[in-house]
Amino acid sequence: MDETKIRFALIEAMRIAATQLPDDVVAALRTARERETSPLGAAQLDAILENVDVAREGSIPMCQDTGIQTFFVEMGAGSPFLGQVKGWIDRAVVDATDAIPLRPNTVDPFSGANPGDNTGRFMPYINWEIIEGDEIRITVLPKGGGSENMSTVKMLPPGVGLKGIKKAVVEHVVSCQGKPCPPTIVGVGIGGGADIALKLGKKAVLREIGSAHPEPAVAAFERELLELINSSGVGPMGVGGETTSLAVHVEYAHRHPASLPLGILIQCWADRRARVWLSADGTIEVKR
Amino acid sequence: MRRELTLPIDEKTVREFRVGDILYLTGQLFTARDEAHLLMLEAHEKGEALPFDPSQMALFHCGPVVRKAGDGWEVIAAGPTTSIRMELFEDRFLEAFRPRIVIGKGGMGDRTQAALETVGAVYAHYTGGAGALAAGRVERVDTVHWLDELGMPEAAWIFNARGFGPLLVTMDSDGGNLYKQLEPTIAANMKAILARIER
């Protein structure tokens, strides 16, 4: 297979993610604008929607914080490209930083040095999952710092139950006010362990807005949480209004009897993502 | 009210601005995040002169994406960064350099509010993430300071802007503060929300 093709596809996916907000997010923002009763909140949504158009038309990043390039790889156990994916992603991130361009966002926590190409120790970060079949599905999630700073994990006493989870999520999201650039997408990860809960929350954010969790009880929990958050009045950018979050997505794992880990992962309105699918025969598809 | 302004503006003018006003700025803005704030304050405390006059410009909390274009620079995306990080030193910064307008997102704390009142300045919120929209209102990059020392996001970029906005005044020089005004409503809503959860 021609390696340049997959690298170009990965760069294209990063460009699409940085410059074109997915249709489901745009639709959710438009709905929020139609429902907005606060003139200040409505003005924020107007600016966001105009910004989204300017970015798409000019093929320029919609936000100056082009994020940490985070990848979720679903790796078909039968794919012939198993050993090559990491190398492709690393090189594509360097090339994309220059070509799109992306802001150089990786900083050495000890020396403060920034290599200038969005790489570094463990960067770009790749989440691996082995799946059946021979296909590789790569999702890129450029994650901004402002919203990531508002993400948190809480180790709740199991006795608080689902009520306690609801309370913790709503209190946290409301306490963030305008800082994570609302209207946000809230990924709620429950169970597993501290790290697992956060990772489930981040994975939940990848789901399309408007999609419901396959289990009806979880889907109802998502709807209730969204409705509670949007009763707060924090509104777009925290200036007051009807829509504080566009969606709440929940994912869960079974928990230890003594633990109720709760990961709250906040994504800003710029819920940027794109995908590359690679078949065993070398066919490549870039998906928005 | 909607105000279209050409920078620089004087103290008397800025003291008329109130929470809820929408500003559109034409003239020079300088970007400064954590590192540029610290560097400028250190220079000020040593009595060293700065290469530009911040009092004539608006301060913009922003780490832009900028690209080399010929001899100069092209702004690709330039939305606001989270302002509260600068709360640690913004009061000293305002007193030292007297920019009349601080542009950022998310609002600032009590120390900055007090400095806005003393110095005569406002804090104006720009829609977070609207980096492409903002870049379109920057006509050119006049220059950049401390690029080598601080890197692209933290350097002080001097932008020449036209109709830069909409900027919503959320903290004014008369003690007005949109975030504080919202607090009682949000607190009351929270109480109702928690009661519903407990039900």
pLDDT beyond 80 at B87: yes
Same domain? A134 vs A276: yes
Percent of chain A past pLDDT 90, that is, above it, reads 96
Distance in angstroms (rounded) separating the CA atoms of residues A142 and A156 = 29
What residues contact residue B113 under an 8 Å CB cut-off, 6+ apart?
A: B171, B175, B177
Same domain? A100 vs A230: no
Asked if the C-beta of A120 comes within 8 angstroms of chain B's C-beta atoms, the answer is no
Q: Is residue A53 part of a domain?
A: no
Of B22, B125, B152, the CB nearest to A104: B152
pLDDT beyond 90 at B199: no
Predicted confidence band at A1 (pLDDT cuts at 50, 70, 90)? confident
Domain count, chain B: 1
pLDDT of A238-281, one tens digit each?
999 999 999 999 999 999 999 999 999 999 999 999 999 999 99
Domain count, chain A: 2
Predicted confidence band at A112 (pLDDT cuts at 50, 70, 90)? confident
Q: Which residues of B touch A146 (CB under 8 A)?
A: 81-82, 105, 128
What residues contact residue B150 under an 8 Å CB cut-off, 6+ apart?
A: B35, B36, B39, B156
pLDDT beyond 90 at B89: yes
Same domain? A97 vs A13: yes
Give the residue from B154, B178, B179, B190 with the most A CB atoms within 10 Å of its CB, the best one to mutate. Answer: B190
The domain that holds B175 is classified in CATH as 3.20.130.10
pLDDT of A130-178, one tens digit each?
999 999 999 999 999 999 999 999 999 999 999 999 999 999 999 999 9
Q: Is residue A189 part of a domain?
A: yes
Same domain? A151 vs A194: yes
Same domain? A278 vs A140: yes
pLDDT the model gives residue B46: 97
Same domain? A256 vs A277: no
ipTM score for this prediction = 0.90
What range defines the domain where residue A182 resides? 146-267
**Better-scored residue on pLDDT, A21 or A2:** A21
Same domain? A174 vs A261: yes
pLDDT of A89-98, one tens digit each?
999 999 999 9
The domain that holds A174 is classified in CATH as 3.30.1330
What residues contact residue A124 under an 8 Å CB cut-off, 6+ apart?
A: A68, A69, A70, A71, A89, A90, A93, A118
Place of tokens 């995306």: B77
Look up the pTM and report it. 0.93
Same domain? A10 vs A140: yes
Q: Which residues of A touch B152 (CB under 8 A)?
A: 103-104
CA A250 to chain centroid, in Å, comes to 13
Same domain? A115 vs A10: yes
pLDDT beyond 90 at B50: yes
pLDDT of A212-241, one tens digit each?
999 999 999 999 999 999 999 999 999 999
Distance in angstroms (rounded) separating the CA atoms of residues B199 and B196 = 5
Same domain? A77 vs A128: yes
Same domain? A256 vs A173: yes
